[in-house]
Amino acid sequence: MFSLTSMPSTTSVFSAYTTVAASTMLVRTVINDVQSLGSQLIPRTLKEKILSRLEGLSGKFSSQLTITIDESSGFSVNEIYQAAEMYLSTRITPSIEQLKVSKEPREKDISVTINKGQKIIDTFEGIQLTWEFVSTATQKTSFDGESGFYASETAERKSLQLSFHKKYMEKVLRIYLPYIVERFKSIKADKKAVKLYSLGSYSGDNSINLDHPSTFETMAMDQKLKKELMDDLDRFLKRRRFYKRVGKAWKRGYLLYGPPGTGKSSLIAAMANYLKFDIYDLELTSPRSNSDLQRLLVSTGNRSILVIEDIDCSIELENRQSGGYKQDDTQITLSGLLNFVDGLWSSCGDERIIVFTTNYKERLDPALLRPGRMDMHIHMSYLTPDGFRILASNYLNIKSHPMFPEIEQLIKETEVTPAEVAEELMKSEEDGDAALKGVVDFLGRKKKEQNKCGKSKVEEEKDEDNEEENGSQKMDKKIKRGGKKNKKKGGKMTTKRGKTRK
Ligand SMILES: Nc1ncnc2c1ncn2[C@@H]1O[C@H](COP(=O)(O)OP(=O)(O)OP(=O)(O)O)[C@@H](O)[C@H]1O
Ligand SMILES: [Mg+2]
């Protein structure tokens, strides 16, 4: 035994190390030899005893510590193994001679791992760490009651061995391995394909990969609002402990409101792509009762966004004023839905987001607008000059153009949705000038139409603000389920002001 604290001279340390290294190698060789002995030559229990003594001996000689990370711990998978396996695939160097590749049907990328017997050297904060992939064949014996014989089968036991100098044990266990698990979580999140589930039927897995190209970058909306929303989402993700401490369900609710074609659905896709959360699109006309609805909601997973579009049209609202209102199971009510979501998510939900959309915020049940119910109300407005610049950059890759001032002036004076302008821009994708000319013509026509109807955009906005303030007085309206009558994109839409919009 020697101790480094006595600070021996460099040569004696070196020779002590070589002696230790040589003895360790010898013991390792013996261990390998014993391991390869078949059970016909040496009984299993004896073999295990010898091996454990030898392991202990090798530990005494060695300055190295080896941690074994098995693929599974009992019945469940060992997350550290999965994390290390994925982490090592990012640490592959040209010295590796054998690799394994695989791909799961739902994943986007191929995953690469090292093969049996291969080693990877990693350095972390000056510590050298050696990873080795080990696979041992184990013999499993089980009694077959029918035949009355013992049957034995060979199973593969996979593990990773991590070796490093003993003095770094604390650092490796407390910093390095947790760091790898964190990396794993973020790599996994990056690779994940966002899925869209339609909640309406129970038959099988009705999900598709959400290949919606919408991202926060491509969203033409108020930049300040966009930043606020992104910050809110980031904060939400970071606050697991806070939610736990105050005993609140870890969830967040957003209400998106605005005219058709202003990007409410696109914003939901952008949120899902940003967070890598799946979307559950709940069609409220499909479940026939509250218990039906509950069954659908129970089937939703964590890290997901539950979406209920056109909330004003798709649900029978509870009339809070009529005191004698009787709620039965066959009627889905907004408060029933909200209470159930609250209850379910407080007991088993983690990282849940709920999004409601509507074209008419003023028609919503006060229950939904009450502070604390929906955490953020997001107004998706008609196109603004800033929004137009984002669309021009998305569709034409043009950042500035002599026609921009004219277009921006027209946008200020006209009620036009991002969807309408996007459609114009798509007409001549190849020819930027022609596309912008098309936008100018379109906006000119639109402005004339709107002027004929009498109201300027400035007046409309004033009206909208007043309506929002007075909105609560109108909220005792009862809207019948399935009443999405006066709103259809592409078709004509009559607003409550009696104005006809395309
Ligand atoms: N703010 C926006 N930024 C970028 N693209 C937009 C925006 N709004 C609309 N678009 C474009 O218009 C299309 C239709 O928009 P979207 O379906 O998101 O509108 P919506 O507000 O959900 O309408 P509805 O109320 O009818 O459901 C989108 O696929 C997108 O291409
Ligand atoms: Mg929509």
Phi, psi of 275 (to 5 degrees): -90, -15
**Residue closest by Cα to atom 8 of ligand 1:** 263
Among 129-143, 313-327, 344-358, the minimum mean pLDDT is found in: 313-327
Amino acid 295 reads: R
C-alpha 152 to ligand 1 mean position (Å): 62
Instruction: State the distance from the centre of ligand 2 to the C-alpha of 314, rounded, in angstroms.
Output: 13
C-alpha–C-alpha distance, residues 98 and 188, integer Å: 23
Three-class SS state of 121: strand
Given a contact cutoff of 8 angstroms between Cβ atoms, the answer to whether 425 and 396 are in contact is yes
Q: How large is the ipTM? A: 0.99
DSSP calls for 201-253:
B-SS--EEE------TTT--S-HHHHHHHHHHHHHHHHTHHHHHHHT--SEEE
Q: Which residues contact 245 (CB under 8 A, 6 or more apart)?
A: none
> Is the Cβ–Cβ distance between 335 and 367 less than 8 Å?
yes
- Probe target for ligand 1 pocket from 218, 222, 262, 379, with the most ligand atoms within 8 Å of CB: 262
CA 282–ligand 1 middle distance (angstroms):
19
Cβ contacts of 275 within 8 Å, gap of 6 or more: 233, 237, 303, 305, 353
Q: How confident is the model at residue 403 (pLDDT cuts 50, 70, 90)?
A: very high
Lookup: tokens for 296? 């659908």
Task: Check if the beta carbon of residue 169 is closer than 8 Å to that of residue 63.
Answer: no
Q: What's the pLDDT tens digit per position in 125-157?
A: 999 999 998 888 777 666 666 667 776 767 778
Q: What is the pLDDT of residues 376-385, one digit of tens each?
A: 999 999 999 9
SS3 257: strand
* Residue 288, pLDDT score: 66
Q: Which one of the ligands is nearest to 313 CA?
A: 1
> What is the rounded CA–CA span in Å between residue 124 and residue 111?
23
pTM of structure = 0.61
Q: How far is the CA of 359 from the centre of ligand 1 (A)?
A: 12
Which pLDDT does position 460 carry in this prediction?
55
Minimum CA distance residue for ligand 1 atom 29: 266
Cα separation, 225 vs 215, in Å, equals: 15
Atom of ligand 1 lying closest to residue 394 CA: 4
CB 270 within 8 A of CB 216: yes
Query: Which bound ligand lies closest to the C-alpha atom of 266?
Result: 1
**Structure tokens given for 489:** 């994109």
Q: Is the pLDDT of residue 101 over 50?
A: yes
Alpha-carbon span 63 to 17, nearest angstrom: 8
Which range is least confidently modeled, 170-184, 191-205, 403-417, 420-434?
Answer: 191-205
For residues 492 and 458, the model is more confident at 458
Q: Which ligand is nearest to the CA of 359?
A: 1
Biggest CA–CA distance in the chain, Å, is 100
Q: Give the up-direction half-sphere exposure of residue 367: CA atoms within 13 A in the CB hemisphere.
A: 18
Report the pocket of ligand 1 as residue ranges, CB < 6 Å.
Answer: 218-221, 260-266, 359, 380, 418-419, 422, 489
Task: Give the Å distance between the CA of 265 and the centre of ligand 2.
Answer: 4
Give the ligand at the shortest distance from the Cα of 258: 1
Residue 208: which pLDDT band, with cuts at 50, 70 and 90?
low
pLDDT band at residue 362, thresholds of 50, 70 and 90? confident
Candidate from 217, 266, 493 with most ligand 1 atoms within 8 A of CB, to mutate = 266
Calculate mean pLDDT across residues 347-351: 74
Which helix (H) or strand (E) element contains residue 262? none
Q: Looking at this protein, which amino acid is placed at residue 16?
A: A
Q: Among 265, 379, 386, 411, which residue has the most ligand 1 atoms within 8 Å of its CB, making it the best to mutate? A: 265
